[in-house]
Copies of this chain bind each other. A is one copy, B any other.
């Protein structure tokens, strides 16, 4: 009986197919543009059937956006792991740095990540989906922040807005991400972006009786 090993094998096979599909898709989409490449083109390049594509990805947009959306768990985990005494601006800066650091750790992946970011920012449909996935991040970050600060996320706007400001900083960094930027430059951009929102993130909480 090796049912666990079997499931692992099946899992790896699935992962292999998903990777093949994703690689073919990203290559075509990034080089030719999102709108002109059809799903038929992608599956032809990957040597699979059209139906299989939609078994692995919910939509054409999903292939691209999942790349960034998957980072959310790491970010939340990191935020939860930051020392409670740390001011919100510092904790959030470290949490959102995690995916950026992951890019830098794998230079061969970094290039593709940057290309995907460019593709998303330049394609309205993808940009919209990316922002939509940020809504989920924001809710999760807000929940974590609320428990950190002992606030009620339903009555106090701070947690949600603090999360929104952190994601705004991330967005700003990504939009300024240029080809050839090294880790040094990325750190710089991140620091500057968080410096802008820090006064609001670390401000003493507004008196709740005002609202």
Q: Give the contact stretch, choosing among A42-50, A69-77, A93-101, A199-207.
A: A199-207
When C-beta atoms are compared, the residue in chain B nearest to A61 turns out to be B128
A162 to B197, CA, bound (A): 9
> Does A82 make an interface contact (CB < 8 A)?
no
| Interface, chain A (partner B; CB < 8 A) | 124, 127-129, 131-132, 134-135, 157-158, 160-162, 164-165, 168-169, 171-172, 175-176, 188-189, 191-193, 195-201, 203, 206, 210-211
Oligomeric state, in copies: 2
Q: Determine whether the beta carbon of A161 is less than 8 Å from that of B157.
A: no
Q: Out of B135, B172, B188, name the residue touching A160 (CB < 8 Å).
A: B172
Q: Out of B165, B192, B203, B210, name the residue touching A168 (CB < 8 Å).
A: B165
Closest chain-B Cβ to A141's Cβ sits at a distance in Å of 13
